[in-house]
Amino acid sequence: MLVANHTSMLDIMLMLYVSKNPFVFVGKKELVKIPLFGFFYKRVCIMVDREDTKSRTGVYRRAQRRLNQGLSICIFPEGGVPDEDIILDEFKDGAFKMAIAHNIPVVPMTFYDNKKRFPFTFFGGGPGIIRARVHEFFETGLLAEEDKSTLREEVREVILKALTNGFKETPRQDYQGV
């Protein structure tokens, strides 16, 4: 289960660059309506209608099928892009509940610069380096569903700490690109 902070439309491209394993996103259904983006989005995502219990439950079946095909799953646990003044929004349970249910490790990632490069504000951002860190995995093999809140907060704390402490190079875990 790949999870990262969500700050920009660049997050999707950076996740594709940083992840060494093929994966599929789980994302909200309403993004299909975005012209051109929506066309590709519905072909590479497991879509979920967050207001529909049946849709949320169906994600587990579709995710298991993709896992059986050898793909990883990626979810941005903030559930959307937070306001620009928020460093890291609260995480939703879905990614952690799914990781425990499917007995797959959680791989936290921190995206440091995407908000500075390509924010959601009109005429915001600018050119520069984008950096990412892949953190140590969290194993879920011994966890039960009631552990999802603890797992969620531990993973959030790793990403928040990285965002507040800044990028420190360690060659095997960090990625830089233009």
pLDDT digits (tens, 9 = 90+) for 14-71: 998 999 889 999 988 888 888 887 888 887 889 888 788 888 888 888 999 999 999 9
Contacts 24+ apart (CB under 8 A), 54-57: 55/29, 56/94
Model pLDDT, residue 177: 46
Question: What is the tally of structural domains in the chain?
Answer: 1
pLDDT at 171: 46
Categorize the per-residue pLDDT at 170 as very low, low, confident or very high, splitting at 50, 70 and 90: low
Look at residue 93 in the predicted model and tell me its pLDDT: 93
Q: How does DSSP assign 77-124, residue by residue?
A: TTSSPPPTT-SSPPPPSHHHHHHHHHT--BEEEEE-SHHHHS-SSTT-
Q: What is the pTM of this model?
A: 0.86
Residues 113-137: b if buried by 16+ CB within 10 A, e if exposed:
bbbbbbbeeeeebeeeebbbbbbee
What are the pLDDT digits (tens) for 113-168? 998 898 877 778 889 999 999 999 999 999 999 999 999 999 999 999 999 998 77
**Residue 49's domain spans which residues?**
2-177
Model confidence at 172: pLDDT above 50: no
What's the CATH code of the domain at 171? Answer: 3.40.1130.10
